[in-house]
Structure 1
């Protein structure tokens, strides 16, 4: 029951607004921001304030949102950093998400970490966002950071640490301007001939046929990179002409590959034309893949170019610095001493002895899986653009190739540019591996593929009512396979017009078979 409690202090009379708390464990008082009972000059004002406070408290209790005042005062002192640490420890999401959250938090904690959650305001968040954009952060990155801030503050509101989520955007506020700010670079795609040429170049850069097969499979199935790397041999089903998407491999920052379900649980069968099923099956037969040591599973594709193990200790660079020569000279002394002057060789051997340098043990070997960044940087991007990226001390430079059979074989080693006779021209600038997935979807649009089949093939989910009444049929699947086969042979015919042979063995065989069948 709400009432006004009369009090006297230093000869002056005042009233406190008292009410019955919903938990009935103690008497409730109307208090100020510092948690002290408000002193009302008259009984009437205290009575009205008490009745209002009691009604609000019971209304909040009905909604399950009432918090005892003592807990509310304690919650007001919780900082964003403290709550974020506890919040992160409670999450049990995918490894990729749990890896990304700390990255985003690193951009939030310097500004909000030591501030009480109740003291964080909307203008504070807006000022932080403007400062991030001004510092050069990508718009998409800032959007990701703010989304995490919104998520944490939303849970902080539910926990009673704040009354409202100050990171929440009002729907429609600044929509026209916001859309232009959120636009990312346009995703690039290429033609089927362009994709074939990129696959050929990728194979030449890696020195094996595996990359050609993998890139053609990605082009004609639209598989995600993790799904392609994580494709196990048992799910490359030649007889049923499909690839079963059951797992993907996600690479963490530590270099560890996590075997996890496909994105958004998009388990599916991706239909394959007969020629693609045969191409992948022949690749498996030729390479005879073995179970990897990290998962014990057998994968269709392996990585490339991992050196042997080396004992811990001084590095080649340290030997070069002590001897006052380049790392290349040290390598020559170790592998081709006859090419090095006697005085230089003696100096290097002395440095090796002083440091106790131990060279690599064992030959170079295949990696279990392709590293995401290594493949994009040294295989796909040079194949698509014709340029190697910048790597100190060298600037970005064209891929040097021989001037023999089309498209030219990359020249490697010291002085490669001087020994080269030509370089590759760009096929498609700014094309990424994910652009091949966009290209596959675009190709299906051109071919008039029904949307329900496109979504099924890409692993997308359509939540509209119309999607409930549309279903994939065998006729749809067969039609698409015939169309993809026609597109494939057209790309082979176009490649034959450029040159009848290829330095890539698997493509050379395909070209000869196609030429003989016409």
Structure 2
């Protein structure tokens, strides 16, 4: 039973916290450990002895029912808890890096001196409101705000469920409460072939035939950029796969269904990521290994591309090495935003590259979104669309459904029909047969032909 101590104007209650003192060898003795409190909350004293006694009874009730959180645990500082929590996570290096960045930049500086068990819902709501205000002032993005609040929610949820540092989370999600704020979404337009042709034409001037093929491949397969695109090796491209698959069992099964002479397809087996500062091949996102049928035109394009270089990567950089961080510096800005004309240098012609106005400020990832829109427009089944995009269909629908060869052939047919309808207009420029890549990488985008007409 708890007992109350009255000292002058101070009232304190003590109770057994369910543990025992340890001896020098670390073994529990019969001497009980007690906790005490001078009020129901920090800075709030008990009004009388009855309130203090009932408070002690409640704590002992928690001890008997296994819900009591030792006060020493609740005093763990956020600056310590955040990094212990991160060390305990079993995630890929890229995810760990993102979490570490968010903790270091916003969460630890704000919450570091606070004890985990003392953070209240009022304080969390005030912090979230500050972040929202910063997003309204364009100091940070709304997407970043969502990432921060999501990470903080995970920290608090684990503090309750896994680590027993507090009884409940201060992050309370209530649906349809308070003033309605429409969630801002990225402005998207339906993906048009004219825009893709402009991007592909620019990519040809920047990156040669590799760039031309890269844009059309992304738009007509829906692969995840950049990881799956940069991680595509030639043994998994449609001209060689599945006969070149290093996995014997997978190769034998795939040969019954796919192949250049039957149904051309490429295999998403890896994605390229940076781990520990080094570029490496890892499993696709969500382990979404999958086979993507490709329309005949894209299969022919890949055959020409692989014949033009001997790199192990389907889409190598200008020097033949694997594409990486240079994409955001010397490739995509010129493909999307254009470049003024420059003087000729050796056998490279520096022509003006016109900007793609429809893609101003946009991510190349939107080409993947556009591929999903095409599949819906062409009336493909949900299981066919989601499987192609690398998603799992949950529930009974996903359990009983399966991607069949008939579904795949229809996807290839509708994509080929879309391609032929565009070129049937007869007004679009196409590049000549590709030449080999240069012997060394270029720091600036360069054309690989003597003359490249503008195609948009």
Counterpart of 1:176 in 2: which secondary structure? coil
Q: 2:268 aligns with which of 241, 245, 250?
A: 245
Matches within 5 A, 1:344-423: 366=319, 368-372=321-325, 374-376=326-328, 378-384=330-336, 387-388=337-338, 399-401=339-341, 411-412=342-343
- Could you tell me which residue of structure 1 aligns to residue 439 of structure 2? none
2:411 aligned with 1:480: yes
In the TM superposition, what is the alpha-carbon distance from 1:428 to its structure 2 partner?
1.9
Greater relative contact order, per chain length (Cα 8 Å cut-off, separation 6+): 2
Q: TM-score w.r.t. structure 2 length? A: 0.74
Matches within 5 A, 1:261-276: 261-276=283-298
What is the CA–CA distance in structure 2 between the aligned matches of 1:272 and 1:218, rounded to whole Å? 11
Counterpart of 2:219 in 1: which secondary structure? helix
- Could you tell me which residue of structure 1 aligns to residue 218 of structure 2? 218
Q: 1:436 aligns with which of 367, 376, 386?
A: 367
Checking the alignment, whether the CA contact within 8 Å between 1:30 and 1:50 is kept in structure 2 is no
In the TM superposition, what is the alpha-carbon distance from 1:144 to its structure 2 partner?
0.5
In the TM superposition, what is the alpha-carbon distance from 1:223 to its structure 2 partner?
0.5
In the TM superposition, what is the alpha-carbon distance from 1:489 to its structure 2 partner?
1.8
Checking the alignment, whether the CA contact within 8 Å between 1:224 and 1:434 is kept in structure 2 is yes
What is the CA–CA distance in structure 2 between the aligned matches of 1:40 and 1:119, rounded to whole Å? 21
What is the CA–CA distance in structure 2 between the aligned matches of 1:132 and 1:427, rounded to whole Å? 32
Counterpart of 1:468 in 2: which secondary structure? helix
- Could you tell me which residue of structure 1 aligns to residue 195 of structure 2? 194
In the TM superposition, what is the alpha-carbon distance from 1:435 to its structure 2 partner?
1.0
Counterpart of 2:303 in 1: which secondary structure? helix
2:90 aligned with 1:92: yes
Once the two structures are superposed, what CA deviation does each residue of 1:246-268 show, in whole Å capped at 9, x if it has no partner? 110024694x3231111111111
- Could you tell me which residue of structure 1 aligns to residue 151 of structure 2? 148
What is the CA–CA distance in structure 2 between the aligned matches of 1:15 and 1:377, rounded to whole Å? 65
Answer with 109-118 or 234-243: which moved more: 234-243
- Could you tell me which residue of structure 1 aligns to residue 443 of structure 2? none
What is the CA–CA distance in structure 2 between the aligned matches of 1:258 and 1:420, rounded to whole Å? 34
What is the CA–CA distance in structure 2 between the aligned matches of 1:52 and 1:125, rounded to whole Å? 26
Checking the alignment, whether the CA contact within 8 Å between 1:22 and 1:58 is kept in structure 2 is no
2:174 aligned with 1:170: yes
Checking the alignment, whether the CA contact within 8 Å between 2:12 and 2:52 is kept in structure 1 is yes
User: Which structure has the greater CA radius of gyration?
Assistant: 1
Checking the alignment, whether the CA contact within 8 Å between 1:140 and 1:184 is kept in structure 2 is no
Checking the alignment, whether the CA contact within 8 Å between 1:204 and 1:504 is kept in structure 2 is no
What is the CA–CA distance in structure 2 between the aligned matches of 1:20 and 1:503, rounded to whole Å? 77
Checking the alignment, whether the CA contact within 8 Å between 1:19 and 1:50 is kept in structure 2 is no
Checking the alignment, whether the CA contact within 8 Å between 1:243 and 1:270 is kept in structure 2 is yes
Counterpart of 2:358 in 1: which secondary structure? coil
Matches within 5 A, 1:49-64: 53-59=59-65, 61=66
- Could you tell me which residue of structure 2 aligns to residue 513 of structure 1? none
Counterpart of 2:321 in 1: which secondary structure? coil
Checking the alignment, whether the CA contact within 8 Å between 1:29 and 1:50 is kept in structure 2 is no
What is the CA–CA distance in structure 1 between the aligned matches of 2:6 and 2:39, rounded to whole Å? 21
Q: TM-score w.r.t. structure 1 length? A: 0.66
Cα distance 1:131–1:222, how it changes in 2: closer, same or farther (>3 A)? Answer: same
What is the CA–CA distance in structure 1 between the aligned matches of 2:291 and 2:30, rounded to whole Å? 60
In the TM superposition, what is the alpha-carbon distance from 1:9 to its structure 2 partner?
8.5
What is the CA–CA distance in structure 1 between the aligned matches of 2:145 and 2:110, rounded to whole Å? 14
Counterpart of 1:497 in 2: which secondary structure? coil
What is the CA–CA distance in structure 1 between the aligned matches of 2:315 and 2:351, rounded to whole Å? 32
Answer with 90-99 or 44-53: which moved more: 44-53
Once the two structures are superposed, what CA deviation does each residue of 1:80-117 show, in whole Å capped at 9, x if it has no partner? 00111211122221111011011101211111112222
In the TM superposition, what is the alpha-carbon distance from 1:73 to its structure 2 partner?
2.7
Counterpart of 2:380 in 1: which secondary structure? coil
Consecutive unaligned residues in structure 2, runs of 5 or more: 21-28, 240-258, 436-456
Q: 2:387 aligns with which of 450, 453, 456?
A: 456
Checking the alignment, whether the CA contact within 8 Å between 2:265 and 2:294 is kept in structure 1 is yes
Q: Which has the larger share of helix? A: 1
Matches within 5 A, 1:288-327: 288-289=310-311, 298-304=312-318
2:36 aligned with 1:31: yes
Cα distance 1:454–1:155, how it changes in 2: closer, same or farther (>3 A)? Answer: same
What is the CA–CA distance in structure 2 between the aligned matches of 1:379 and 1:16, rounded to whole Å? 69
